[in-house]
Structure 1
């Protein structure tokens, strides 16, 4: 069973279409305090947020589309035991933030453009194979646009 010891949570952010707040870059900057607030609602203690820089990357997939802006946040100090129930709840909250920035998953093409994409990469040692969520993210190791900002976030001093 996972413990709360060093149960860091990593979330990847990406956008390549404008949202109601502006450009993809402006969208990622605008969602940042909302993500911190979302995690802060689970914690009675101080959390440490380690943010990568914003990184421009080429899209993957068959669809012609603009470049993405990507980032990763690593959340440390979340004193909650990771579980399937909590991970699925977090996923729903992340999807709620995506909707606030104009994303409609039901109307998208796979690997198509999006106003905001929030992917839960891992939560400590939690292993999950659920129809809605696999942890750790099964393709994280194949994606430079995730690995590079993740490494940056891991090297940040909170």
Structure 2
């Protein structure tokens, strides 16, 4: 079984409800156990800044799927919630974005999948929820907590639990 970190994001529709359903789908379709789920955070847009703020969160799962099969499953779930990767604007608005951040200690650099996620250490909106669920985890030799300490968290706010 592999220990996998996945980042969730979105800024269209009822994002927090989408997260709840998408996490259930990830666990069901990837035959995964949910080990941890961060709080939801409202965050400024990254890349294309002329859009609504995002909601971001992270989960940790355990799955027997290999990285490519898991990526296929994550893309299928995104599509179910209305994402069309072929037609969207890069870093633009979306209903659901599922990014595989780390898969055990696997390193891959391919056209469809790079692990760990290549922009992880630039993105406080991913590191902040990750610190909540896996603060001491090392990814590519760096601790999540230390990586976050080097970035600005301005504009990132933890949302209250839905209950």
- Give the TM bin, normalised by the shorter chain: 0.7 to 0.9
| Conserved? CA contact 1:140–1:147, under 8 Å | yes
SS at match of 2:70: helix
TM-score if structure 2 supplies the norm length? 0.77
Q: Kindly report which structure 2 residues correspond to 1:1-158, keeping only aligned pairs within 5 A, or say none.
A: 7-18=2-13, 23-40=14-31, 47-76=33-62, 78=63, 80=64, 86-154=66-134
Q: For 1:8 and 1:127, how far apart are their aligned partners in 2?
A: 14
Q: For 2:87 and 2:50, how far apart are their aligned partners in 1?
A: 17
| Conserved? CA contact 1:53–1:71, under 8 Å | yes
SS at match of 2:17: helix
Structure 2 unaligned runs (5+)? Answer: 136-163
TM-score if structure 1 supplies the norm length? 0.79
Deviation at 1:38, TM superposition (A): 2.4
User: What corresponds to 1:44 in structure 2?
Assistant: none
Cα RMSD, aligned residues only: 1.7
Q: Greater relative contact order (Cα 8 A, min sep 6): structure 1 or 2?
A: 1
Q: For 2:23 and 2:67, how far apart are their aligned partners in 1?
A: 19
Q: For 2:103 and 2:70, how far apart are their aligned partners in 1?
A: 10
Q: Which structure features the higher share of strand residues?
A: 2
Number of aligned positions between the proteins: 135
Structure 1 segments, 4+ long, off by >6 Å, are none
